[in-house]
Structure 1
Amino acid sequence: MENKPNWLKSRFFQELVIFIAMFVLTMLHEWIKLDTFMAFLQGLTFFVVLYLQAQFNLHVIFPLLMAKKYALYFFCFVLLTFIGALLLLSLDYYWISPQLYREPDVSIFMGIVYHFVLCIISTVTILSMFLLRRYATELQKRSEVQLKLSEMNIKYLHTQLNPHFFFNMLNNLYGVSLTEPARTPQLILKLSELMRYQLENGSKRTVLIRDELKFIDNYIAMERERVGKRCEIQYRFPEEDTLPDRYRIAPLILITLVENAFKHSVTISRKWFVDISIQFFNDLLTAEVRNSLPDEALVSNSTGIGLINIKERLEMLYRNQYSLISTTEGQEYRTTFRLNLNAIEHG
């Protein structure tokens, strides 16, 4: 699908189209009388006042209704509409149609009522167009977000299903099967659970937090087998019964932080360590991941796509409800992630 030109999407262009359409519709019954430039100017001036009154209502008074200040909104709406009616009546009386009000059967009161109703009609029309446009915009944004999320989930699965990791795990399993065959079935089970979780839950919108933590636990267990005693691994997480079922999280977000810690912490000149702490307190999930900085000779070339993906997903799913901060202190790299669980309670 081809993208529309930017000028078609601009708010100015859309407002201009609405202005012209409403002007034509409003003046349609009087169009035959706009046979001179002065008549056209009078009609345009009349409509501009009508249009500005409706726009002022939309941008200044309508927010009161959205804020549930009903009494104040009703009072301001009536007052503004009455002022608009008086302005339109003044234009008619002194400039556009002064002869009309010289007729004995035309009263000022009926003129005010007519222009008052006209102001209400124009305001309702403008509001209807505004709400329809906002609804269409929201639908378009939702479609774009869903499409982007689907594309990102596919990319994410491709990057997270790391063939090197599973290749190393299989090699480790082979070595363990030769030296400690009794441990092999348990490790195979953990590896299968890792693969099953990623394949079955990677495309879901949300998963239970306890399921995500169990997945991380299995991942760390496999990493212990891979790195052996060379790396000091610490992992602290909440007890399963402290995590209510109503709290959910987008899948495979936390694992990115954990995987990066193992991937970028290898060192032989200093202590090699990975320290992971996940806490749940007062509806706030906090994950702090600390790891040693790698030796320069062991620094791997990374595209950073994992962190890019997680930041994009967080921004789309949990905007203004999370924080993700990475710092370097001495020979330690630290990432702190906080997420307001109230924001996803019903996710």
Structure 2
Amino acid sequence: MQSALLTVAASEPFVKRWLWNREIRIFLIHYGVWVIVSLIGGWLELQFIPADRLEEATPILAHYRNDWWGYVQMTLIADLVYLIPVHVSYWVFQRSMRTGRAWALVLFGLYMLVYFFVQSLLYGILVGALGWPVKNQEALSTIVITWIYTVIFIAVRAYRQNRRRQKELELQRTRAELQALKAQVNPHFMFNTLNNLYGTAITGNMDRTAAGIEQLSSVMRHITEASQQDVILIEQELRFVEDTVELHRMRVPQTESIQIRAVMDWDEKPAQIAPLLLNPLVENAFKYGISMQRPSFVDISIRVTDGTLTGTIRNSIVSRTQLEKGTGTGLKNVRQRLALAYPNRHLLRIEQTNDEFIVYLTINL
């Protein structure tokens, strides 16, 4: 008794795998739909076709006119005989196409010719076994229609399989590109931040340097964790921007000629964003907008309301030549990530005057 229970228990994973196999599921659904449609069609014909015309219109149904349970059994058997070769043919098609060779398609064409004759043989056996009153012309039309149905079934399945594979490849490509773009952010930000800390260290301000190292530790922790995710909470990204701004504040002297303003506003409704997306815009603003020799400013305003992020990042232009040479990479990175992560859900607009550079960003999160 115990060994029998162990045998049943051991067979359960196999049964589950068999039932959850995708092709098995598709076949069972296909078979179920065919059986239901066949039974409903037969019932409707019995209801609306006069008894005296039933023999001429549908001789098989007339054969089971007074035996509905027999008709149900016949439908279960016939649909099974029809559909098994259809799905086997699709399996053969898949195996043939895996080689990628032209001769494989030719061999499959020959298989379909052989399949037509085998199908005719199976239909003849089925008719003889069940004793159907079928004429030769009706039998031929049934075989041809079933063969055409098989071709259409294979074509549709192959098309959908190809579309699904293309979408999977596109998704993999998109993820790979996003990972590559995020990887570009990290070294650039790291170099800038270390340069900032170097500036505070050489001035001898140990307290500011220690605070900066602590701030950098928090920022780098965010970068490390965020780089492994497709999206993060919006509050994490806003906190990261605030930490980045504070690191830059520590670098520049606290004078009236340098104005730094950063406003982060969030309505506290749940939202997520692609990580490190705003960082290149903030970095560009500080890199090309702050001057130690003349008045300059950076003004950052980011608001998140009802799942929509709106941001305006303004900075003074301290060197037009340096700006034209340097801002391209960061903005290109942001454009690419926006196109991949938020297609048709974002607006990035850039304005430039003689002394001011402005980035407007809207994202439907």
TM-score normalised by the chain length of structure 2 = 0.59
Match of 2:358 among 334, 338, 343: 334
The residue number in structure 2 matching 1:99 is none
> Equivalents in 2 of 1:17, 1:145: separation in Å?
34
Aligned equivalents of 1:185 and 1:226: distance in 2? 13
Quote how far apart the aligned CAs of 1:301 are.
4.0
User: Partners of 1:297 and 1:132 in 2: how far apart?
Assistant: 52
Structure 2 CA distance for partners of 1:268 and 1:175, relative to 1, 3 Å: closer
- Contact 2:197 2:209 survives alignment (8 Å): no
Identity of aligned residues (%): 23
Separation in 2, partners of 1:297, 1:123: 63
Partner of 2:203: 175
Deviates more, 1:309-318 or 1:280-289: 309-318
The two structures have a TM-score, normalised by structure 1, of 0.61
Instruction: String of CA shifts for 1:26-51, please: whole Å, max 9, x gaps.
Output: 223579xxxxxxxxxxxxxxxxxxxx
CA drift at 1:177: 2.6
Q: 1:23 aligns with which of 82, 98, 109?
A: 109
CA offset at residue 185 of structure 1? 4.6
Q: Say yes or no: does 1:166 pair with 2:184.
A: no
Q: 1:171 to 1:294 in 2, by over 3 A?
A: closer
2:336 to 301, 306, 312: 312
Q: Deviations over 1:198-227 (max 9, x none)?
A: 233233222211111111111111212212
1:208 and 2:233 aligned: yes
**What is the distance in 1 between the residues matched to 2:293 and 2:222?**
36
Paired residue total:
248
User: What is the rounded CA distance, in whole Å, between the counterparts of 1:305 and 1:219 in structure 2?
Assistant: 19
Measure the CA separation in 2 of the matches of 1:147 and 1:274.
33
Structure exhibiting the larger radius of gyration computed from Cα positions: 2
Aligned to 1:339, what secondary structure does the other structure show?
A: strand
- 1:202–1:269 Cα change, 3 Å: same
- Aligned twin of 1:234: 261
Query: Pairwise mapping of residues 23-42 of structure 1 onto structure 2 (< 5 A)?
Result: 23-28=109-114
Question: Quick one: which amino acid aligns to residue 118 of structure 1?
Answer: W
Contact 1:209 1:248 (C-alpha < 8 Å) held by counterparts: yes
5+ long unaligned stretches in structure 1: 1-13, 32-104, 342-347
| Displacement of 1:160 | 2.5
Q: RMSD value over aligned CA atoms? A: 3.2
* Structure 2 residue 118 is matched with structure 1 residue 118: no
* Unpaired segments ≥5 residues, structure 2: 1-99, 118-133
Letter in 2 for 1:123: I
Instruction: Evaluate the alpha carbon distance shift between residue 158 and residue 201 of structure 1 in structure 2; reply closer, same or farther with a 3 A threshold.
Output: same
Change (3 A) 1:302 1:21: farther
**Corresponding residue for residue 128 of structure 1:** 157
Q: 1:257 aligns with which of 264, 281, 300?
A: 281
Is the partner of 1:294 in helix, strand or coil? coil
| In 1: Cα distance, 2:139 partner to 2:320 partner | 87
Secondary structure, aligned partner of 1:316: helix
Residue identity matched to 1:208: L
**Bigger relative CO (Cα 8 Å, ≥ 6 apart):** 1
The answer to whether the 8 A contact 1:153-1:203 is kept is no
Q: Deviations over 1:146-166 (max 9, x none)?
A: 33333333333222322x431
Q: 2:113, 2:339 → 1: CA distance?
A: 47
Query: Structure 1 140/296 Cα, relative in aligned 2: closer, same or farther at 3 Å?
Result: closer
**Equivalents in 2 of 1:309, 1:117: separation in Å?**
54
Going from structure 1 to structure 2, the CA distance change for 1:315 and 1:137 (only over 3 Å counts) comes to same
Residues 46-100 of structure 1 show CA distances to partners (whole Å, capped at 9, x for unaligned) of: xxxxxxxxxxxxxxxxxxxxxxxxxxxxxxxxxxxxxxxxxxxxxxxxxxxxxxx
Provide the C-alpha distance between the structure 1 equivalents of 2:327 and 2:310, rounded to a whole number of angstroms. 26
Give 3-state SS (helix, strand or coil) of 1:235's partner: strand
